[in-house]
Amino acid sequence: MTATPDLGTPQLASPDLLRSVFRRHAAGVAVITAPGGEGPVGFTATSLTSVSAEPPVISFGIGVGASSWPAISESGHVGVHILGEHQQDLAATFARSGADRFGASTRWRTGHEGVPVLDDVLAWLVCRVVARVPAGDHRIVLAEVVLGDPSGAGRPLLYHQGRFNGLRD
């Protein structure tokens, strides 16, 4: 075993440490949507994960203090949208607290089970929620894929160092 040169100064676990480490982790950008009692809801997520191929199950995290949580906590179905690098403004709109997320600048339609489906994304899914698992101040939502469309054109939008970015060759 060889010594690793200068690992820096270790820090005790904290929310700041976790945020600092994950700012260095590039992640794909998705928007999660759901029907709500007072209209559609949605938020930008970088925690999207493929969980199982058979049956097809995905997961994402959402804070229990998020404005979308009440609708997500009750909805039987959610929409999952993979954003393209041309959709930085859309990602920012769905990330911003208090924004009119489904206003005139957002192109969308009502899909299967009343789920809002965003237009012009790289890919989208409608999923049936199968579980909401407590995880600290968040919930991990597990959802089984019902239908979708992977045929959008373009390259994916990424989130890294607190900014939205495109892929570089």
Q: For residue 24, is pLDDT > 90?
A: no
Cα separation, 99 vs 123, in Å, equals 23
Average pLDDT over residues 98-102: 92
Is there a contact between 109 and 125 (Cβ–Cβ < 8 Å)? no
Predicted TM-score of the model (pTM): 0.91
Least confident range of 11-25, 43-57, 92-106: 11-25
- Please report which confidence band the pLDDT of residue 138 belongs to, taking 50, 70 and 90 as the band edges: very high
As a whole number, the mean pLDDT across the chain is: 93
Is there a contact between 49 and 59 (Cβ–Cβ < 8 Å)? yes
- Please report which confidence band the pLDDT of residue 72 belongs to, taking 50, 70 and 90 as the band edges: very high
**What is 39-74 written as a DSSP string?**
S-EEEEES--EEEEETTEEEEEEEETTSTTHHHHHH
The pLDDT of residue 23 is 85
The pLDDT of residue 15 is 82
Q: For residue 1, is pLDDT > 60?
A: no
Closest CA to 86 of 169, 168, 166, 149: 166
Q: For residue 159, is pLDDT > 60?
A: yes
